[in-house]
Amino acid sequence: MASLMERATSAPQTPGESPAACAPPRVKVVGVSKTFPTPDGGVARVIENVDLTLAEGEFLSIVGPSGCGKSTMLRLISGLTPVSEGRIVVAGREVTEPPPGVGFMFQRDTLLPWATVSENISIALELNGTPPAARPARIAELLKLLGLERYADYRPSAISGGMRQRAALGRLLAYGPELYLMDEPFGALDAMTKMILGRELLRIWSQDAKSVVFVTHDIEEAVGLSDRVIVMEGPPGRIKSEYRIDLPRPRDFRAVRLLPEFRDLCERIWGDIGRHSEAE
Ligand SMILES: Nc1ncnc2c1ncn2[C@@H]1O[C@H](COP(=O)(O)OP(=O)(O)OP(=O)(O)O)[C@@H](O)[C@H]1O
Ligand SMILES: [Mg+2]
């Protein structure tokens, strides 16, 4: 543990700066703003001039108060919602529609209601071209991992919110995208399951070196998982600050919490969000 502590640092960065700026980025967000029409006929500015780079293989978390535009940022990157100003490039191509190789886990699970848990996962395997003969074993593996074996044949309406979230995570893992966009994926889970799935996500991420943008309200979760944490403020949504998380890898999602550097980072990020809330 001592060597872990020696290696841990916590320098804030300039917004937009990436730790692996030399490699071509997986995502580049340049001067992006987003407006929506309001019910009274006006226009609401929801995202204001955001610049952001996600390096290949980087794990980035976004935190910030409710309504500051975190989910909107993910939807813009996913191509599901068009930008109003600026541009977003994913894997070298400007985003005008959902790009290939991007997996989205929504804040509210979007399982197909008519399909069972197994079938929901199977459809993701079909989408990524897994041969039919290889699907049952992969489904069984994911159901075991997520503790859903007993619920394989249940429809989403007959399982709990936390189970639905796990099934949605199973579908994302089954699809196996290059870029994971995850909107509070562990929000409805109990502390123990969060810990298990956080570990599992880190294990999968470290094996496959996929790029992740992870939105959460849980600062400890963000610090425990990420290479970098961005604090947003708003509305309109802007990047307020950015923290490089130089805690060692491979990282034990639970043990890392004992490091003083971990606590220090969490406190500073909390302070950032708190100051914003007080100013409102
Ligand atoms: N389709 C839309 N039409 C109009 N306004 C929208 C739309 N989507 C988002 N907004 C507005 O954008 C703002 C930011 O919403 P967003 O869902 O991105 O916040 P958030 O940071 O994810 O919040 P939370 O932490 O509560 O999930 C809100 O004021 C919301 O009303
Ligand atoms: Mg949200």
pLDDT at 18: 42
Query: Looking at ligand 1, which residue's alpha carbon is closest to its atom 25?
Result: 66
What is the token pair recorded at 99? 């790009």
What confidence tier does 274 reach under pLDDT thresholds 50, 70, 90? Answer: confident
Provide Rg for the chain, Cα atoms: 19
Q: Name 127's bridge partners.
A: none
Pair type for strands 27-37 and 85-90: antiparallel
- The answer, yes or no, to whether any atom of ligand 1 lies below 6 A from the CB of 216, is no
Cβ(197)–Cβ(224) under 8 Å? no
Spatial distance between the Cα atoms of 46 and 6, rounded to a whole number of angstroms: 41
* Residue 12 phi, psi dihedral angles, 5° rounding: -70, 150
Q: Name 215's bridge partners.
A: 62, 183
Tell how far the Cα of 71 is from the centroid of ligand 1, in angstroms.
Answer: 7
Q: Which residue has the tokens 């490091």?
A: 259
Nearest atom of ligand 1 to the alpha carbon of 75? 18
Query: Looking at ligand 1, which residue's alpha carbon is closest to its atom 24?
Result: 66
pLDDT > 90 fraction of the chain, expressed in percent and rounded: 69
pLDDT in tens, 172-187: 999 989 999 999 998 8
User: Which domains are present in the chain?
Assistant: 27-101+178-278 (3.40.50.300), 111-176 (no CATH)
pLDDT in tens, 184-239: 998 878 888 888 888 888 888 888 778 999 999 999 999 999 999 999 999 999 99
pLDDT at 277: 52
Tell how far the Cα of 229 is from the centroid of ligand 1, in angstroms.
Answer: 20
For the chain, what is the mean pLDDT? Answer: 88
pLDDT in tens, 115-157: 999 999 999 999 999 999 999 999 999 999 888 999 999 999 9
Query: Looking at ligand 1, which residue's alpha carbon is closest to its atom 9?
Result: 72
Ligand nearest to the CA of 232: 1
Which of 70, 240, 276 to mutate for ligand 1's pocket (most ligand atoms within 8 Å of CB)?
70
* Residue 148 phi, psi dihedral angles, 5° rounding: -120, 15
Tell how far the Cα of 239 is from the centroid of ligand 1, in angstroms.
Answer: 15
> Maximum distance among all alpha carbons in the chain?
59
Q: Which amino acid is at 8?
A: A
Residue 237 has what DSSP assignment? B
The predicted model gives 84-102 an average pLDDT of 94
Cβ(273)–Cβ(65) under 8 Å? yes
